[in-house]
Structure 1
Amino acid sequence: MRESHTPALASLDAYANVTDLLARRATEAPAHVAFEVPPASGDEWRPISTAAFLAEVRALAKGMIAAGLAAGEAVAIMAPTRYEWAVADLATWFAGGVVVPVYETSSASQVIAIAADARVRLAIGGTAVHGELLRAALTDALGIWLMDAGSGIPSLDDLVARGRGVSDDELEYRRTRAGHDDPATIVYTSGTTGEPKGAVLTHANFLGQVLNIAAAYREVVHAGGNTIIFLPLAHVLARGLQLICIASGMRIAHLADPARVVPTLAVLQPTFLVVVPRVLQKIQAAADDKAAAKGLTRVWDRARATAITAGRVAERRDAGTPPRVPFGHRVRHALFDALFYRRLRAVMGGRVDYMLSGGATLDGELSLFFRGLGVPVIEGYGLTETTAPLTGNLPGRIVSGTVGLPLPGSTVRISDQGEVLARGVGVFAGYRDDRHDDDAFVDGFFRTGDLGRLDEGGRLVLEGRLKDVVTTSNGKTVVPARWEGAVEADPLVQHAVVVGDDRPYLSALLILDAEQAAGWAASTGVELDVRTPASLRPVDEPRLVARLQRVVDEANTLVARSEQVRRFTLVLADLDDRDLVTPTMKIKRREVLTRAADTIETLYRGAAS
């Protein structure tokens, strides 16, 4: 199959622009709790109704208008994930502006480049640090305001105060001016293989995604549920999810500190979570470690295997061919549920019905494991240029190892070269710089740069990045994604990078997860320096190398002989370095190859060409 399409489920005709999503919801259910905001002290989270949120949005939008923001002008938001981000996002649209999200971890040069390219006129920062970065980047702007007060830079309260003279009629005129084809946001891509590009997403792109996804996932996103958003709100996936929740009445809580996520799950008990595969790997690894500490490794291994089998049974049931489940399996599952599974669900809050995984390929067995625990994982796929999700598995139709069917209103095509092409309601019209459009489209489809195939049911299976292929000196072209993904499934490995262009065989750099490596060292009595290095630093610890040699050997069994890795080196890196790792934690392969040139040479020393 070379093309798969899913018809749209929703019409955009009744909506002028994105602001109608909030305006309608506030009319339908003004008293419904839309957000839960963390307390300054204590444990009680403060509920905020839809009407109260709308009032804050309107007040801030009036302040932007009073400050001189014109319709169509850009507003930069640079802050960690928090409630005020949501207020600023919607307020910009109510004022007729265009949102330019800036990752809070962006360097000064990145902030300057984005502000200049987008012609930012007004900026909102989270802290004084963000304020200083924005002030240095904006030489000709209306002003900078902060979510945190008391730093000498005006706060959002000051901006709200400026807008008290703006009439409701003027605000409504501004709110309703933008149409479907007008820009809603300019999102700068992470740039794993080149310079960041400003993707212009329209109001129709957001409306198409929000309305169609909400219609397809009613079991997941609904007024009786709640979620915690801990992804960066500068990422289009988090903002898209937020709009879907606002429109559907699902309560939202925001968290920026990863250390607070697990304790907060127990307090707020979400029904739905969006995660990256690494989070699921760490949950499973923590369970492995806890079982080992109690001398229950053999029992836990059987529990894991039983959960994976239960996941397969559930998927076959979804497909309409339920297998006969032996009585012994049902007994084991009930026993392990009492011993292990229930406790793992409690770690996640005890009420999670579904999790959505994106950002990287999810290992099939890991997906089956969580399904067997009773927490189905919906894997999806998308890009900034597709306004987040393009494909996704659906409740009751999850197939592990795939990223699902095209979402309603979308079409996926596979080119002759195996590249995934996209067209649909969420697919953008082009980049801010027309030069970046030259190779971005073919026959009306956006070129994703990802390699994939469609299974017999029309579901997409990802197979790597087009620009990440490795060509050896023997002329063999290798797509390393499967091997890298298998190695990255081990909690000790944060990133695996296969190298071998113009070399006689493949090698790899395994970038360690410092936290997991420190835990391994402590449990095995090994002294290991895991301090963050200034650059990539090789790690030569024989027992750790031996531990990961087994992982490499197992990954080699999954690929053809010509795709197997012969040698590897362990390295530590500064994973907060935005020149090395994107804000969405994707490794910049070219930068790795440049920085690790000497280390890579050692992997080929003495090799025959």
Structure 2
Amino acid sequence: MRHPVSEIQLTSTPQSVDIEQVQNVTELLMRRLRDAPEHIAFELRSPGSPLDAPWTGISTREFAEQVSNLAKGLIASGVQAGDTVIIMAPTQYLWAVVDHAALFAGAVVVPVYDTASDAQLGAIIADAEPSVAFTGTAELRDRIVEAAEGYGAPLTTEAVWILDPETRSLDALTELGAGVTDAELESRRLAAELGDVATIVYTSGTTGDPKGALITHRNLVGQVLNTAAAYSEVVQESGNTVLFLPLTHVLGRALQLICIANGMRVAHLSDPKEVVQALAILKPTFLVVVPRVLEKIEAAAEASAREKHVLPLWRAAHRTAVAWGQYLEDRDQDPSLTAPLGLRMKHALFERVFFGRLRSVMGSRINYLLSGAATLRPELPRFFRGIGVPVIEGYGLTETTAPLTGGRPGQLVAGSVGTPIPGNAVRIAENGEVLAHGVGVFAGYRNSAHDADAFVDGYFRTGDLGYLNSAGALTLTGRLKHVIVTSTGRTISPERWESAVEIHPLVAHAALVGTDRPYLTALVVVDVEATREWFRERGDALPHALDTKGVRPCVDGRLTSEISGAIETANAAASPSERVQAWRAVVIGEDRAPEFITPTMKLKRQALLQEAAPIISELYS
């Protein structure tokens, strides 16, 4: 394996905003309150109402009042400055209220995925030692209390508040704070400084046990203000977004703070399956997605064309969109370029037949999409740009407080995750590892023993491999811990092969296998929902494996035949020593999906390989 050599080894972008005059992250809301109190900050759907029912506008003033009243309740309940407060709930408006209320009370917020296993939950509680917690439901409250008891943590039922409005739990907490004065609240709100910890975010654990990352007020303020400055074309007071990423994830949380600070309207969705329908109703101007969402939109368009018996026409349109996206990318570098007449004519035709309708499905107002959490195959952002919806590719981690780099409008290059966000720097180590430094880089892990291997020369070791071009733009090539070394001494980065297979609409994830083995094999995780629909369209009986629990092979000749084309294509693009000799389709049951798939839809590779060890052994027998 040979990685591209960086044209430069270090690149940085100076800060665009002086953050030293900002006391802490709560000032982002207070500044907005002073500037535009009646501006609509959120759109809220009544519990249980359909998506197309009227959404209620919540002004910045109304939001700030709810935050302040709930913060007073926390103070009255005994929460002290510096105490940790857990939030374990799906994405929703009240998540934002509780998050800010805890910060206003001087507390440190600890978000926890509501899909966390009992073992993960117990370990986080034992490490974070929360004084109170907020959960989405009574069932989650019972889980968190039981987990706390199992680890000897003093978190009682009375110290857990429930976001579900029917319980009136938050109303009771608000009433508790009736005796707390505005002066007391303001004193507590201003207690934290930029260098203090604002939140502890536990990593998703794709490569090991979760670790608590200490993210400071400086990290959040610096990233929010500098990112907004870098993307003034996107972050606008007249804009709006639909937030369906988990707010437990630092990217979702950072986006919410950017919107609050700049007046961009936010609507929350807890169920990602509602997103496509919601786009046509809420008509966002900007959307943050993970790559799998873009792949599903692309696959859904193809499935619709197949159903309407116009698949050959759609595939011609798809090729045209990709070519048009490439032309626009080239024109960014050379504004004098003109598209060939044939391409212009085909693009105009397919604009009327397909592209305009596809944008309409997405709400007709999206100016940009931001894709994070994993790399994109270059064809995908070119396709979306070709239909009129440019994709900004960005890169960041929990430890960099979300965005470390990002493409800029007018400088988008498919496959590149762009240049550093203002205030940040990227360096490439001799082994190709991406190193990070700057305003977004966290203060270290809660367990300082984890810091020993996390930093080098003051730079955070991301664990990702990549290179910089002459313009300082970063391209990622793989994960350092995912590198495979075969028993014959071959060193292979699996991501390129895996990405090629994951293009297939029936494939959710692919995992290359081969460490200490004589040749490569692979596990192909099928997309259960898409596969069920594929069999129904064919009028075929569904394989029993699709309804399995746990991780099971799906040995079905029809499915194997369908996916084998993707395997052959990926192998054809690889050198002979990097081709897969055997593979198996596997199904991950919904009952155990959180053990193998992160909330941002990334594969927990090591967990899958360990669970599927018997299947892998068969591939080498």
TM-score normalised per structure 1: 0.97
- Distance in 1 separating the partners of 2:244 and 2:574: 35
The one-letter code matched in structure 2 to 1:46 is T
Question: What's the counterpart of residue 549 of structure 2?
Answer: 534
- Distance in 1 separating the partners of 2:509 and 2:394: 21
Q: Is the 8 A contact 1:387 1:428 kept in 2?
A: yes
TM superposition shift of 1:289: 1.1
Is residue 2:285 matched to residue 1:271? Answer: yes
Is residue 2:184 matched to residue 1:170? Answer: yes
- Distance in 2 separating the partners of 1:359 and 1:177: 33
Counterparts in 2 of 1:149 and 1:306: CA distance versus 1, 3 Å = closer
- Distance in 1 separating the partners of 2:226 and 2:330: 27
Instruction: Name the SS for the 1:227 alignment partner.
Output: strand
The aligned runs of 1:412-423 (5 Å cut-off) are 412-423=426-437
TM superposition shift of 1:290: 1.1
The aligned runs of 1:100-115 (5 Å cut-off) are 100-115=110-125
The one-letter code matched in structure 2 to 1:248 is N
Question: What's the counterpart of residue 238 of structure 2?
Answer: 224
Question: What's the counterpart of residue 49 of structure 1?
Answer: 59
Question: What's the counterpart of residue 587 of structure 1?
Answer: 603
Q: Is the 8 A contact 2:292 2:601 kept in 1?
A: no
Is residue 2:103 matched to residue 1:89? Answer: no
- Distance in 1 separating the partners of 2:326 and 2:406: 19
Q: Deviations over 1:440-499 (max 9, x none)?
A: 000100000111111222111111111111111101111101111111122211110000
270, 275, 281: which one aligns with 2:295: 281
Q: Is the 8 A contact 1:402 1:461 kept in 2?
A: yes
Q: Deviations over 1:161-218 (max 9, x none)?
A: 0001000000000000100110000000011111110000000000110010000001
Question: What's the counterpart of residue 461 of structure 1?
Answer: 475
The aligned runs of 1:80-479 (5 Å cut-off) are 80-138=90-148, 139-141=153-155, 143-150=159-166, 155-479=169-493
Instruction: Name the SS for the 2:471 alignment partner.
Output: coil
Question: What's the counterpart of residue 3 of structure 2?
Answer: none
- Distance in 1 separating the partners of 2:143 and 2:392: 38
TM superposition shift of 1:293: 1.5
575, 579, 599: which one aligns with 2:615: 599
The aligned runs of 1:455-534 (5 Å cut-off) are 455-529=469-543, 530-534=545-549
Instruction: Name the SS for the 2:160 alignment partner.
Output: strand
Q: Deviations over 1:498-523 (max 9, x none)?
A: 00111111010000000111111122
- Distance in 2 separating the partners of 1:534 and 1:283: 27
- Distance in 2 separating the partners of 1:23 and 1:70: 21
The one-letter code matched in structure 2 to 1:593 is L
Q: Is the 8 A contact 1:190 1:584 kept in 2?
A: no
Q: Deviations over 1:550-602 (max 9, x none)?
A: 11111123322221112111010125532222232222222212211111112
- Distance in 2 separating the partners of 1:20 and 1:383: 24
Q: Is the 8 A contact 1:422 1:447 kept in 2?
A: yes
Instruction: Name the SS for the 2:75 alignment partner.
Output: helix
Is residue 2:563 matched to residue 1:543? Answer: no
- Distance in 2 separating the partners of 1:358 and 1:322: 31
Q: Is the 8 A contact 2:84 2:130 kept in 1?
A: yes
TM superposition shift of 1:14: 2.1
Is residue 2:13 matched to residue 1:6? Answer: yes
Instruction: Name the SS for the 1:508 alignment partner.
Output: strand
The one-letter code matched in structure 2 to 1:396 is G
Instruction: Name the SS for the 1:448 alignment partner.
Output: strand
- Distance in 1 separating the partners of 2:181 and 2:389: 49
The one-letter code matched in structure 1 to 2:213 is A
- Distance in 2 separating the partners of 1:27 and 1:255: 28
Instruction: Name the SS for the 2:434 alignment partner.
Output: strand
- Distance in 2 separating the partners of 1:22 and 1:532: 47
The one-letter code matched in structure 1 to 2:118 is A
TM superposition shift of 1:321: 4.7
TM superposition shift of 1:44: 0.4
Q: Is the 8 A contact 1:265 1:347 kept in 2?
A: yes
Question: What's the counterpart of residue 4 of structure 2?
Answer: none
Q: Is the 8 A contact 1:532 1:573 kept in 2?
A: no
- Distance in 1 separating the partners of 2:482 and 2:27: 41
Q: Is the 8 A contact 1:469 1:478 kept in 2?
A: yes
Q: Percent identity?
A: 53
- Distance in 1 separating the partners of 2:337 and 2:555: 48
Q: Is the 8 A contact 1:209 1:387 kept in 2?
A: yes
Number of equivalences: 603
TM superposition shift of 1:149: 4.2
The one-letter code matched in structure 1 to 2:180 is V
Instruction: Name the SS for the 1:253 alignment partner.
Output: strand
The aligned runs of 1:68-83 (5 Å cut-off) are 68-83=78-93
Q: Is the 8 A contact 1:313 1:322 kept in 2?
A: no
Which range is displaced more, 576-585 or 426-435?
576-585
- Distance in 1 separating the partners of 2:322 and 2:74: 53
Which range is displaced more, 468-477 or 543-552?
543-552
TM superposition shift of 1:13: 1.9
Q: Is the 8 A contact 2:290 2:601 kept in 1?
A: no
- Distance in 2 separating the partners of 1:395 and 1:104: 35
- Distance in 1 separating the partners of 2:11 and 2:589: 41
The one-letter code matched in structure 2 to 1:600 is I
The one-letter code matched in structure 2 to 1:19 is T
TM superposition shift of 1:543: 2.4
40, 44, 54: which one aligns with 1:37: 44
Q: Is the 8 A contact 2:85 2:132 kept in 1?
A: yes
- Distance in 1 separating the partners of 2:589 and 2:420: 36
The one-letter code matched in structure 2 to 1:557 is A
The one-letter code matched in structure 2 to 1:580 is F
The one-letter code matched in structure 2 to 1:268 is L
For structure 2, list consecutive stretches of 5 or more residues without a partner in the other structure: 1-7
Question: What's the counterpart of residue 556 of structure 1?
Answer: 571
The one-letter code matched in structure 1 to 2:552 is R
- Distance in 1 separating the partners of 2:411 and 2:295: 23
The one-letter code matched in structure 1 to 2:160 is I
Let me know the Cα RMSD of the aligned residues.
1.3
Q: Is the 8 A contact 2:406 2:418 kept in 1?
A: yes
Q: Is the 8 A contact 2:417 2:473 kept in 1?
A: yes
Which range is displaced more, 373-382 or 33-42?
33-42
534, 555, 569: which one aligns with 2:584: 569
For structure 1, list consecutive stretches of 5 or more residues without a partner in the other structure: none
The one-letter code matched in structure 2 to 1:594 is Q
- Distance in 1 separating the partners of 2:288 and 2:421: 17
The one-letter code matched in structure 2 to 1:243 is L
The one-letter code matched in structure 1 to 2:133 is A
Q: Deviations over 1:115-157 (max 9, x none)?
A: 1101100111111111111222344247111011455xx6111
TM superposition shift of 1:109: 2.1
The one-letter code matched in structure 2 to 1:590 is Q
TM-score normalised per structure 2: 0.95
Q: Deviations over 1:391-412 (max 9, x none)?
A: 1001111000111111111111
Is residue 2:73 matched to residue 1:58? Answer: no
- Distance in 1 separating the partners of 2:83 and 2:369: 36
Which range is displaced more, 323-332 or 46-55?
323-332
- Distance in 2 separating the partners of 1:502 and 1:375: 44
Which range is displaced more, 3-12 or 585-594?
585-594
